[in-house]
Amino acid sequence: MPASDLSLLIEAARKAGEVAAGFAAETAKRWDKPGGLGPVTEADLAVNDLLEAVLRGARPEYGWLSEESEDGAERLGCRRTFIIDPIDGTRSFIEGSGTWAHSLAVVEDGVVTAGVVFLPMRDKLYAAAAGQGATLNGVAMHVSDRRELTGASVLAAKPVYAPQHWRGAVPEVKRIYRPSLAYRLSVVAEGRADAMFTLRPTWEWDVAAGDVILREAGAATSDRAGERLVFNNPHPQVNGVVAANPALHGAITGALVI
């Protein structure tokens, strides 16, 4: 099932890219979500509608969790659920940058079994299914083998380097940033960065696809406390994310204040 789900996700992601590309970022209608949840555009909603039609049309028995759909309890009774971020990096989309992504995943009993992160403006399609390995544009990829945190290249936002988050001194690392959380995870899976972490409660749709891509690329993934990530929760957030090869992952979680 993960392999056939992956083919479906890839097909849907490419169709989503075509829909999103049909909107000019500078003229697309936009507004702010209630509660300070950030911006949304008509492109986000159009992609969401397309993905729901394609994915649920093919798998009507699967639950549905999307950033741009009203959530409900129905998905909690489903063994498998789609977890979707129609456009991850909406601010980047609005600015006309190419570093936004479609993030699509299937979760079974709390574990991500297939995932795709597609950046249509950069022609990068990251994909993985359980037991099948991870690829970028069809070519196998693997995380870096760096073991030491000092000097590692890390994708993280500035607040995670505040001293209160660390047991000792703030580590001296090469700081990198990408506006799309799904893209950050994928860059680590590709081995172009050594680690990624975020310490805030994190929406599942931002990280579900990246979780399986990372694990299939040889990474360890967890929440900020080092606990296994579990998806399709009643409140769809996880307690931060830490991702790197197993040795570096252990160095990071061991240095963080839980």
In the block, residue with structure tokens 């555009």:
41
d(CA 103, CA 251): 28
> CA quadruple 189, 192, 203, 86: dihedral positive or negative?
negative
In the block, residue with structure tokens 């995932």:
115
Work out the angle between the directed axes of helices 204-216 and 181-190 (0-180°, nearest 10). 10
Residue 90 φ then ψ, to 5°:
-60, -40
> CA quadruple 48, 50, 56, 58: dihedral positive or negative?
negative
Look at residue 143 and give its three-state secondary structure.
Answer: coil
109 is in an annotated binding site: no
44 is in an annotated binding site: no
206 is in an annotated binding site: yes
d(CA 67, CA 36): 14
Amino acid at 71: D
Instruction: For residue 183, give every residue at least 6 positions away whose Cβ sits within 8 Å of its Cβ, in sequence order, or none.
Output: 88, 89, 99, 100, 101, 117, 119
**Residues 104 and 129 sit within 8 Å (Cβ to Cβ):** no
211 is in an annotated binding site: no
Look at residue 8 and give its three-state secondary structure.
Answer: helix
227 is in an annotated binding site: no
**Residues 28 and 95 sit within 8 Å (Cβ to Cβ):** no
If 0-12 CB within 10 Å is exposed, 13-18 middle and 19+ buried, where does residue 163 land? exposed
Annotated binding site: 67, 85, 87-88, 206
List binding-site positions for Mg(2+).
67, 85, 87-88, 206
